[in-house]
Amino acid sequence: MAYMRSVPRAWRERKIKYQLLGGKCKDCGKSFYPYRQICPVCGSTNVEQVKLPEKGVIEYFTIVRTPPTEFKEYAPYVLAIVKLEDGTKVLAQITDVEPNEVYEGMEVEAVFRKYREQGPNGIIEYGIKFRPVK
Ligand SMILES: [Zn+2]
């Protein structure tokens, strides 16, 4: 029963993703998402975990019409680079909006949503998506 083992892992990741935890480099000052131990900008390992702002604007987006099989039920969907209030850039799916209504500069906020489902009896993973600010 391989999926039994992965349940606790999914729950652990759920917490991390929901809080939008990123990393901030103490050497070059850049913050990034998701958190990792090595700064993607300067390669420093002097990185601390920080909670990122949950609001930002869409800087760039693309409409995905032919996604990988596991995301088929969501197609077409919008994948965007969201620039958070502190300047951190996050690659995420945009939800709760028609793809043709999305525009660059649109204000969005992070929400906690179903990410993917692994088979009919499989586990459901949750993650961060962004939706337009009402
Ligand atoms: Zn750095």
CA 32 to centroid of ligand 1, rounded, Å: 10
C-alpha to C-alpha distance for 32 and 23, rounded to whole angstroms: 5
The radius of gyration computed from the CA coordinates of the chain, to the nearest angstrom, equals 16
CA 54 to centroid of ligand 1, rounded, Å: 22
- The residue with greater pLDDT, 81 or 118, is 81
Q: Pairing mode, if any, of strands 89-94 and 77-84? A: antiparallel
Which runs of E-coded beta strand occur in the chain?
Answer: 21-25, 31-32, 47-51, 55-64, 77-84, 89-94, 107-117, 124-132
Q: How confident is the model at residue 1 (pLDDT cuts 50, 70, 90)?
A: very low
Q: Pairing mode, if any, of strands 31-32 and 107-117? A: unpaired
CA 41 to centroid of ligand 1, rounded, Å: 5
Looking at the predicted structure, is the pLDDT value of residue 115 above 60?
Answer: yes
CA 46 to centroid of ligand 1, rounded, Å: 8
Q: What is the pLDDT of residue 29?
A: 94
CA 38 to centroid of ligand 1, rounded, Å: 8
Q: Please state the domain extents for the chain.
A: 2-20+53-132
Q: Using one digit for the tens of pLDDT, what is the confidence trace for 30-77? A: 998 888 999 999 999 999 999 999 999 999 999 988 887 877 777 888
Average pLDDT of the chain? Answer: 83
Q: What is the pLDDT of residue 76?
A: 87
C-alpha to C-alpha distance for 14 and 19, rounded to whole angstroms: 9
C-alpha to C-alpha distance for 111 and 94, rounded to whole angstroms: 10
